Protein backbone atom coordinates (compact mmCIF):
# COMPACT_ATOMS: atom_id res chain seq x y z
CA UNK A 1 0.00 0.00 0.00
CA UNK A 2 2.77 2.39 0.96
CA UNK A 3 4.76 1.61 -2.19
CA UNK A 4 1.72 2.18 -4.40
CA UNK A 5 1.01 5.52 -2.71
CA UNK A 6 4.67 6.54 -2.98
CA UNK A 7 4.80 5.74 -6.71
CA UNK A 8 1.57 7.63 -7.38
CA UNK A 9 2.94 10.63 -5.49
CA UNK A 10 6.31 10.45 -7.24
CA UNK A 11 5.29 9.53 -10.79
CA UNK A 12 1.57 10.18 -10.94
CA UNK A 13 0.89 6.46 -11.40
CA UNK A 14 1.80 3.07 -10.02
CA UNK A 15 2.52 0.29 -12.50
CA UNK A 16 3.10 -3.35 -11.61
CA UNK A 17 6.55 -3.34 -13.21
CA UNK A 18 7.58 -0.31 -11.13
CA UNK A 19 6.23 -1.89 -7.95
CA UNK A 20 8.16 -5.10 -8.65
CA UNK A 21 11.35 -3.12 -9.22
CA UNK A 22 10.96 -0.93 -6.13
CA UNK A 23 10.07 -3.85 -3.85
CA UNK A 24 12.59 -6.28 -5.30
CA UNK A 25 9.97 -8.92 -6.09
CA UNK A 26 8.73 -10.56 -9.28
CA UNK A 27 6.01 -9.16 -11.51
CA UNK A 28 3.95 -12.28 -10.71
CA UNK A 29 4.16 -11.54 -6.98
CA UNK A 30 2.94 -7.99 -7.57
CA UNK A 31 0.04 -9.14 -9.76
CA UNK A 32 -1.01 -11.70 -7.14
CA UNK A 33 -0.89 -9.07 -4.41
CA UNK A 34 -2.80 -6.54 -6.53
CA UNK A 35 -5.54 -9.13 -7.11
CA UNK A 36 -5.87 -9.59 -3.34
CA UNK A 37 -5.91 -5.82 -2.77
CA UNK A 38 -8.64 -5.50 -5.42
CA UNK A 39 -10.74 -8.17 -3.65
CA UNK A 40 -10.28 -6.21 -0.42
CA UNK A 41 -11.47 -3.02 -2.11
CA UNK A 42 -8.16 -1.20 -1.64
CA UNK A 43 -7.10 -0.71 -5.29
CA UNK A 44 -8.54 -0.64 -8.77
CA UNK A 45 -6.82 -1.50 -12.02
CA UNK A 46 -7.38 -2.95 -15.46
CA UNK A 47 -5.05 -5.22 -17.43
CA UNK A 48 -1.97 -3.33 -18.66
CA UNK A 49 -3.06 -0.17 -16.85
CA UNK A 50 -1.90 1.72 -13.76
CA UNK A 51 -2.94 0.80 -10.24
CA UNK A 52 -5.07 3.27 -8.30
CA UNK A 53 -5.91 3.45 -4.61
CA UNK A 54 -9.57 3.52 -3.65
CA UNK A 55 -10.62 5.86 -0.84
CA UNK A 56 -10.32 2.91 1.55
CA UNK A 57 -6.88 2.20 0.08
CA UNK A 58 -5.78 5.82 0.48
CA UNK A 59 -6.77 5.74 4.15
CA UNK A 60 -4.87 2.50 4.75
CA UNK A 61 -1.81 3.78 2.86
CA UNK A 62 -1.82 6.91 5.01
CA UNK A 63 -2.00 4.82 8.20
CA UNK A 64 0.81 2.53 7.00
CA UNK A 65 3.00 5.52 6.10
CA UNK A 66 2.44 7.11 9.51
CA UNK A 67 3.28 3.81 11.22
CA UNK A 68 6.48 3.53 9.16
CA UNK A 69 7.49 7.12 9.91
CA UNK A 70 6.89 6.58 13.64
CA UNK A 71 9.17 3.53 13.69
CA UNK A 72 11.90 5.32 11.69
CA UNK A 73 11.72 8.42 13.91
CA UNK A 74 11.89 6.26 17.05
CA UNK A 75 14.93 4.36 15.80
CA UNK A 76 16.71 7.58 14.80
CA UNK A 77 15.91 9.03 18.24
CA UNK A 78 17.73 6.02 19.72
CA UNK A 79 20.82 6.99 17.74
CA UNK A 80 20.46 4.63 14.80
CA UNK A 81 21.54 6.09 11.46
CA UNK A 82 18.65 7.15 9.21
CA UNK A 83 19.56 4.67 6.46
CA UNK A 84 19.66 1.73 8.88
CA UNK A 85 16.50 2.98 10.64
CA UNK A 86 14.62 3.07 7.30
CA UNK A 87 15.77 -0.46 6.43
CA UNK A 88 14.97 -1.86 9.88
CA UNK A 89 11.58 -0.14 9.99
CA UNK A 90 10.48 -2.17 6.96
CA UNK A 91 10.43 -5.30 9.11
CA UNK A 92 9.56 -3.83 12.48
CA UNK A 93 6.50 -1.90 11.33
CA UNK A 94 4.74 -5.10 10.25
CA UNK A 95 5.12 -6.76 13.64
CA UNK A 96 4.95 -3.99 16.21
CA UNK A 97 1.74 -3.84 18.25
CA UNK A 98 -0.41 -0.73 18.55
CA UNK A 99 0.54 -0.54 22.24
CA UNK A 100 4.24 -0.49 21.40
CA UNK A 101 3.70 1.98 18.58
CA UNK A 102 1.94 4.37 21.01
CA UNK A 103 4.92 3.99 23.37
CA UNK A 104 7.25 4.91 20.49
CA UNK A 105 5.16 8.02 19.87
CA UNK A 106 5.28 9.01 23.56
CA UNK A 107 9.05 8.54 23.60
CA UNK A 108 9.43 10.66 20.45
CA UNK A 109 7.27 13.41 21.96
CA UNK A 110 9.33 13.44 25.18
CA UNK A 111 12.60 13.39 23.25
CA UNK A 112 11.56 16.44 21.22
CA UNK A 113 10.84 18.57 24.33
Domain count, the chain: 2
Instruction: Look up the pTM and report it.
Output: 0.82
Domain CATH for 97: 1.10.60.10
Interacting residues of 76 by C-beta distance below 8 A, sequence separation 6+: 82, 85
Question: Tens digit of pLDDT per residue, the chain (113 long)?
Answer: 999 999 999 999 999 999 999 999 999 999 999 999 999 999 999 888 899 999 999 999 999 999 999 999 999 999 999 999 999 998 898 899 999 999 999 999 998 87
Q: How far apart are CA 23 and CA 62, in angstroms?
A: 18
Do strands 43-44 and 52-53 pair parallel, antiparallel, or not at all (unpaired)?
antiparallel
DSSP string of 56-79, one letter each residue: HHHHHHHHHHHHHHHHHHHHHHTT
What's the CATH number where 6 sits?
Answer: 1.10.10.10
Amino acid sequence: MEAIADLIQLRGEARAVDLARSLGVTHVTVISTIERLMRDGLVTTEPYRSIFLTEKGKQLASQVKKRHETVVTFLVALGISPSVARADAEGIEHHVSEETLRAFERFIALKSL
